[in-house]
């Protein structure tokens, strides 16, 4: 067999890969038993033992196979058709996945650091909590020699199902084309990544960290950026048509690089129909009269950074999608209030009453939540029921929850990295898929709490 083009000098597996790559004629399939044999050889290869051999299933049919919790460092998957396979918890550092078909794969918590994903198809895949630092996921074309001709290999078909990469770390990654289109990247880290010209349209980008990222010419139209960090990002010529920037953090100089005339921006306090003090008074009357008088406070989508609501009664108020950085709610009544998708970095909630509050997908990095009562709220009726505080998917990194009561709270998929949880009551809390790395749990109560990884 003779290879043509820039890769024609010797072994095609060792030849340098370009944005257009080609493969020899192949196309056979592999089953789980044969794969397991090759994996054992790969284990020996990584240890430098006799009989070891790098795992190589390039261009093979390998749908629905299991690669879970394996060290697949530097494995060769170029052009392999692996749709529906599972890679949960696997290490794919420096693996070659150029042009691979990874549709509907389960890749939760896998490590793709410095992997080559150029031209790979990930539609419908689950990359939640994956590590993709310095991953190369730019566009690429895979060519195969067939009957003496080089033809493009189509691994993706027309599958348009959205992928999920919640909490994934893509720091320094290189991404282009439509690989991430309509992807759920909630709480992902894209710090210092290169996204020039990438199609991020209709993505869920809640809480994404874009600091230092180059988004020149990227398409973010229709995307949701609640709580996203855009300070220091290069937004030159970015398409923000219909993008929702409520609760996002950005500096005006950054946004001057692009057209925001069709974007959804946070509303200013000056846009309120009444002063904040009057809204708070009317809300108190609404509570006392059980809705007969006054009016419920609605601050949804407003920029309330640095605003003080200290020691006021705002239970059942609506702050969803609001920008609340450095806001002060110390000692306030916030039971059953709506705080979903807010950005409350560095805010103060110390001693607040927060039973049954909805903080789903909120960003609360470094917030002061000492001594808050955020336990489940008892709702009286024909059959009494407990309404849990909802912190699902919230970012609580480095928060101070010393002495807080979170009994029965839902923290599924939340991030509590480096949080202070001393003497915190987490009895019966849902902590499945919660990241508590580096958290201080001295004296915390975890009786009855659900911990560990959620089942697929």
Express each pLDDT in 84-128 by its tens digit. Answer: 999 999 999 999 999 999 999 999 999 999 999 998 888 899 999
> What ranges in 161-275 are assigned the alpha helix state H?
252-255
Q: How confident is the model at residue 417 (pLDDT cuts 50, 70, 90)?
A: very high
Q: What is the rounded CA–CA span in Å between residue 338 and residue 329?
A: 14
Q: What is the pTM of this model?
A: 0.79
116-145 in b/e burial notation, b at 16+ Cβ within 10 A? bbbbbbbbbbbbbbbbbbbbbbbbbbbbbb
Q: Domain range spanning residue 95?
A: 18-160
Residues forming beta bridges with residue 131, ordered by sequence position: 111, 169
Q: Are residues 249 and 312 in the same domain?
A: no
Q: Is 98 exposed, middle or buried (0-12, 13-18, 19+ CB in 10 A)?
A: buried
Lowest mean pLDDT among 36-45, 71-80, 166-175: 166-175
| Domain-embedded: residue 12 | no
Lowest mean pLDDT among 15-29, 278-292, 346-360: 15-29
Who wins on pLDDT, 159 or 252? 252
* Residue 217 and residue 238 in contact, taking contact as beta carbons nearer than 8 Å: yes
| Domain-embedded: residue 448 | yes
* Residue 318 and residue 298 in contact, taking contact as beta carbons nearer than 8 Å: yes
Q: Are residues 210 and 230 in the same domain?
A: yes
Residues 234-250: what's their mean pLDDT?
A: 94
| Domain-embedded: residue 9 | no
Residue 25 scores a pLDDT above 80: no
Which helix (H) or strand (E) covers residue 137, if one does? Answer: strand 136-137
Residues 395-419: what's their mean pLDDT?
A: 96
Q: What is the mean pLDDT of the chain?
A: 88
Tracing tokens 């033992």 back to the chain, one arrives at 49
* Residue 231 and residue 211 in contact, taking contact as beta carbons nearer than 8 Å: yes
Kindly tell me the number of DSSP H helices and DSSP E strands found in the chain: 3, 7
Q: What is the rounded CA–CA span in Å between residue 412 and residue 423?
A: 20
Lowest mean pLDDT among 78-87, 133-142, 274-283: 133-142
Residue 159 scores a pLDDT above 50: no
Last residue of a domain, one of 123, 138, 160: 160
Who wins on pLDDT, 338 or 452? 338
| Domain-embedded: residue 10 | no
Q: What is the rounded CA–CA span in Å between residue 176 and residue 193?
A: 11
pLDDT tens-digit profile of 182-228?
Answer: 899 998 999 999 999 999 999 999 999 999 999 999 999 999 999 99
Q: How confident is the model at residue 420 (pLDDT cuts 50, 70, 90)?
A: very high
Number of domains in the chain: 3
CATH number of residue 129's parent domain: 2.160.20.80
Tokens of 175: 């991404």
Tracing tokens 């394996």 back to the chain, one arrives at 70
Q: How confident is the model at residue 339 (pLDDT cuts 50, 70, 90)?
A: very high
Residues 29-57: what's their mean pLDDT?
A: 96
SS (H, E, C) 68-119: CCCECCCCECCCCECCCCECCCCECCCCECCCCECCCCECCCCECCCCECCC
Residue 11 scores a pLDDT above 80: no
> What's the pLDDT score for residue 123?
87
Chain centroid to Cα 296, Å, comes to 32
Chain centroid to Cα 317, Å, comes to 27
Q: What is the rounded CA–CA span in Å between residue 108 and residue 111?
A: 9
Q: What is the rounded CA–CA span in Å between residue 440 and residue 339?
A: 25
Share of the chain above pLDDT 70, in %: 89
Residues 160-187: what's their mean pLDDT?
A: 84
| Domain-embedded: residue 36 | yes
Tokens of 434: 């919660």
> What's the Cα-to-Cα distance from 302 to each of 58, 80, 244, 342, rounded to whole Å?
52, 48, 13, 10
> What's the pLDDT score for residue 14?
35
Q: Other CB atoms closer than 10 Å to residue 440's CB: what's the count? A: 16
Residues 381-405: what's their mean pLDDT?
A: 93
Q: Are residues 433 and 298 in the same domain?
A: yes
| Domain-embedded: residue 364 | yes
Residue 2 scores a pLDDT above 90: no
What's the DSSP call for residue 144? E
Q: How confident is the model at residue 438 (pLDDT cuts 50, 70, 90)?
A: very high
Q: Are residues 273 and 415 in the same domain?
A: yes
Share of the chain above pLDDT 90, in %: 76
Q: Are residues 282 and 402 in the same domain?
A: yes
Of 377, 411, 381, the closest CA to residue 396 belongs to 411
Q: Are residues 55 and 79 in the same domain?
A: yes
Q: Are residues 291 and 417 in the same domain?
A: yes
Q: Are residues 342 and 283 in the same domain?
A: yes
Which helix (H) or strand (E) covers residue 279, if one does? Answer: helix 276-288
Who wins on pLDDT, 169 or 153? 169
| Domain-embedded: residue 6 | no
> What's the pLDDT score for residue 443?
97
Q: Are residues 169 and 154 in the same domain?
A: no
For residue 309, give the 3-state DSSP assignment. coil
> What's the pLDDT score for residue 140?
60
> What's the pLDDT score for residue 10?
35
End-to-end Cα spacing for the chain: 44
Last residue of a domain, one of 160, 195, 214: 160
Q: Are residues 441 and 362 in the same domain?
A: yes
> What's the pLDDT score for residue 12?
29
Lowest mean pLDDT among 11-15, 155-159, 333-337, 443-447: 11-15
Residues 159-170: what's their mean pLDDT?
A: 77
Of 283, 312, 277, the closest CA to residue 298 belongs to 283
Q: Is 419 exposed, middle or buried (0-12, 13-18, 19+ CB in 10 A)?
A: buried
Q: Are residues 304 and 439 in the same domain?
A: yes
Of 68, 105, 100, the closest CA to residue 84 belongs to 105
Last residue of a domain, one of 265, 297, 319: 265
Q: How confident is the model at residue 305 (pLDDT cuts 50, 70, 90)?
A: very high
> What's the pLDDT score for residue 456?
54
> What's the pLDDT score for residue 64?
97
Q: Other CB atoms closer than 10 Å to residue 17's CB: what's the count? A: 18
Lowest mean pLDDT among 21-25, 182-186, 247-251: 21-25
Q: β-strands 174-175, 136-137: how paired? A: parallel
Residue 300 scores a pLDDT above 60: yes
Q: Are residues 185 and 149 in the same domain?
A: no
| Domain-embedded: residue 137 | yes
* Residue 83 and residue 61 in contact, taking contact as beta carbons nearer than 8 Å: no
> What's the pLDDT score for residue 163?
83
> What's the pLDDT score for residue 49?
95
């Amino acid at each position: 067999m003779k290879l043509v083009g820039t890769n024609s000098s010797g072994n095609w597996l060792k030849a340098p890969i370009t944005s257009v790559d080609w493969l020899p004629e192949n196309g056979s399939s592999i089953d789980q038993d044969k794969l397991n044999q090759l994996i054992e050889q790969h284990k020996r290869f990584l240890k430098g033992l006799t009989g070891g051999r790098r795992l190589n299933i390039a261009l093979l049919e390998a749908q629905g196979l299991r690669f879970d919790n394996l060290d697949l460092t530097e494995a060769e998957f170029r052009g392999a058709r692996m749709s529906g396979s599972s890679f949960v918890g696997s290490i794919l550092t420096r693996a070659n996945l150029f042009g691979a078909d990874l549709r509907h794969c389960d890749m939760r918590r896998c490590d793709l650091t410095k992997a080559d994903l150029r031209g790979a198809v990930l539609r419908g895949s689950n990359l939640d909590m994956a590590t993709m630092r310095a991953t190369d996921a730019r566009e690429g074309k895979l060519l195969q020699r067939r009957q003496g001709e080089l033809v493009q290999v189509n691994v993706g078909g027309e599958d348009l199902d959205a992928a999920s990469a919640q909490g994934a770390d893509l720091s320094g990654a290189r991404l282009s084309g439509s690989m991430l289109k309509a992807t759920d990247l909630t709480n992902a880290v894209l710090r210092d990544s290169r996204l020039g010209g990438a199609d991020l349209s209709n993505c869920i980008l809640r809480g994404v960290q874009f600091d230092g990222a180059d988004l020149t010419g990227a398409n973010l139209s229709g995307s949701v950026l609640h709580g996203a960090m855009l300070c220091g990002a290069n937004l030159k010529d970015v398409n923000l048509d219909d993008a929702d920037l409520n609760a996002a953090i950005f500096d005006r100089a950054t946004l001057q690089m692009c057209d925001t005339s069709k974007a959804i921006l946070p509303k200013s306090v000056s846009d309120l129909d009444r002063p904040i003090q009057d809204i708070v008074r009317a809300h108190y009357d609404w509570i006392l009269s059980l809705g007969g008088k006054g009016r419920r406070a609605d601050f949804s989508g407003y920029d309330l950074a640095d605003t003080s609501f200290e020691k006021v009664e705002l239970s059942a108020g609506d702050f969803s999608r609001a920008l609340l950085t450095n806001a002060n709610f110390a000692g306030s009544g916030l039971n059953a209030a709506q705080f979903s998708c807010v950005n409350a970095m560095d805010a103060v909630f110390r001693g607040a009453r927060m039973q049954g509050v909805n903080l789903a997908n909120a960003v609360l990095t470094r917030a002061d939540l000492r001594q808050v009562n955020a336990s489940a709220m008892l709702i009286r009726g024909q059959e009494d029921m407990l309404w849990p505080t909802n912190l699902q998917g919230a970012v609580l990194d480095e928060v101070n929850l010393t002495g807080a009561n979170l009994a029965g709270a839902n923290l599924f998929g939340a991030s509590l990295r480096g949080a202070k949880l001393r003497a915190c009551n987490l009895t019966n809390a849902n902590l499945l898929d919660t990241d508590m790395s580096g958290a201080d749990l001295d004296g915390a109560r975890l009786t009855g709490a659900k911990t560990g990884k959620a089942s697929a």
